[in-house]
Amino acid sequence: MDGVLVDSNPFHLRKWASLLTEHRIPFDPEDLPKQIVGHRNDGLLRHFFGPALTAEERRALIDELEEKFRAAFKPHAEPLPGLRQLIVQASQAGIPMAVASSAMRKNVEFVVDAIGLRPYFQCLFNGDEVTHAKPHPEIYLKTAEKLGVDPGLAVGFEDSFVGIEAVKNAGMKCVAIASSFPLEDLRRTRADRVVKSFTELDLESLSFGSRESGVGGPDDK
């Protein structure tokens, strides 16, 4: 969702930079995107704060962080360029779609409602519904199961390194969107195709529904 449906990651980075600064926890601004993007809040709090925080303290911090995020991001919520057109095409072709996000449930529902795309998704899967965080494939496998889709015939869209690994570990094709990280960096991942934006994609180029043609091979990167 973040960095795929919407350009929300800059807002997430700012909230984390503010939190770490407030608690005087050192961090490298250049490393922060790779540390934050695609990861769940509970794991990030353990990483930065160590084992000192109780589960209740982690939950309170997460709720505070995400409430601030929703308030800051709401005026800027809009789908990434080309996304709506591709989703409408897929819907008209009868292709089932879902959101599989590491974000908390409130954020997932907030974003898809804010950009008006909820009717197109058969299910919304969030980070609170899985035990294992990305790059573990659990969230993608459970989403495919909920959709009634063979993972080998599914395509996952990701913007983060751990997300790409999660898609590939689930046995799916992966399209990487260069919204959060440079195109060249994403080309060094296991993604089957890397694009600057959804404006480069349509159903024909993705070859949906064909196990043989898939999404393209390494040369398509």
Omega before residue 135 within 30° of 0, cis: yes
DSSP for residue 195: E
pLDDT at 42: 87
- Look up the CATH superfamily of 9-76: Putative phosphatase; domain 2 (1.10.150.240)
> What CA–CA distance (Å, rounded) separates 156 from 64?
30
pLDDT at 198: 97
> What CA–CA distance (Å, rounded) separates 76 from 136?
31
Query: Hey, what are 68's tokens?
Result: 């601030």
Tokens 């570990």 -> residue = 169
In 3D, which of 68, 61, 30 has the Cα closest to residue 44? 61
What dihedral angle (degrees, nearest 10) is formed by the CA atoms of 76, 78, 82, 86?
A: 160
Query: Hey, what are 114's tokens?
Result: 């804010």
- pTM recorded for the entire structure: 0.80
In 3D, which of 5, 218, 213, 23 has the Cα closest to residue 108? 5
Question: Which residues of the chain does CATH 3.40.50.1000 include?
Answer: 83-220
pLDDT at 209: 45
In 3D, which of 194, 216, 193, 161 has the Cα closest to residue 31? 161
Question: Which residues of the chain does CATH 1.10.150.240 include?
Answer: 9-76
pLDDT in tens, 107-163: 999 999 999 999 999 999 999 899 999 999 999 999 999 999 999 999 999 999 999
pLDDT at 216: 43
Show the DSSP H helices in 129-208 as ranges.
138-147, 161-169, 183-186, 203-206
> What CA–CA distance (Å, rounded) separates 172 from 189?
14
**Torsions phi, psi of 51, nearest 5?**
-80, 5
Intervals of the chain under pLDDT 50: 208-220
- Look up the CATH superfamily of 83-220: HAD superfamily/HAD-like (3.40.50.1000)
